Amino acid sequence: MEIAPPGLKGLAVADTTIGAVRGSEGFYHYRQYNAADLARERSVDDVLTLLIDGALPPEMPAIDLGALRELPREVEDLVDSLSPYMADALAVIRSAMLAVAELEEHQPVLDIGHVERRGNVLRLMAIVPTIVARHYRRRNGLEPIAPDPSLTHAADYLRMATGEVPAELNSRAVEKYLVATIDHGFNASTFTTRVVTSTGASAASALVAGFGALSGPLHGGAPGRALAMIEEIGGAENARAWVQAKLDAKEKIMGFGHAVYRAEDPRGIVLREAAEAIGGDLADRAIGIEAEILAMLAEWKPDQTIVTNVEYWAAVALGIAGFPPELFTPTFAVSRVIGWSAHVLEQAEDGKIIRPSARYVGPEPLS
């Protein structure tokens, strides 16, 4: 029996045409396109068309999720009933998504063809921002806002959450974040989604499993903590003393270091640009604090390359755009469900169950 490395690290377990990460180069791509460039230049709607249908508009007709974002009345009632008692938006998403699939009679991917599978994943990805926004507003004593099919996916999500039609720069910052984080290799949640799909289960079951994996603190990231760190430090002049105290206490510096990237995280570069475009006190302080932290980390471990990761500038960009910290992780879910959906379709076409073995290391069995 061949033994895989711990955590399957460095082991290729499938073929994919969706995208890949080249961490040593600070580069990742969606199909044949530089993903960071897509985040700068294209809308969520364009990029999901690329991932779901294989080409960018106008080569492929753009997918419009506008008419698919509305929740059934029964699911609105479910979200409303759960929200006062469930603070975790990801848990509410899982419940609501399964309810929609049941009400609309989504079938296992094994029993249907590509056209129906595609329709199911588009419907499910479309409702996630509606669920997140409704949950957030109900939790905060605000009336929910119905989707507006005339708006882009990013702009409508920001409007449903904040209650205001967003300024163009704010909308673009959210759009860049959503595009930049749609897919990122065979991470834990993507792999989980593909494993469940490989059993022939419904798309909803696979996506709900992805949300379960994303809820783990070792995977989904914590841009809210990065923002709290910036606020705690206050300004660049305080950064060195703050970092030294954390290093002395052997505590993690939020927003720095990455398991894959050894060059600068390209997602962070895009989001820094978005934050700088909006500007303001938070952006200015974040720039100065980042420079001081990187200098301190370089002195601390001169033989290692420690870079700013996506969490740091995601926190700043989303905060400036109008999202409170409690919406940071759910906003990541709004994005990543699109990538998972592309993987559901790809894995369903493969038709083989993912069934690795385990090495038994317990006591010898009794004869």
Report, as residue numbers or ranges, the catalytic residues: 258, 311
Taking the chain, what is the end-to-end CA distance rounded to the nearest angstrom? 23
Output the CA–CA distances (angstroms, integers) from residue 290 to 168, 241, 304, in the order listed: 26, 14, 17
CA 247 to chain centre: 29
Instruction: Give dist(CA 323, CA 273) in Å, integer.
Output: 18
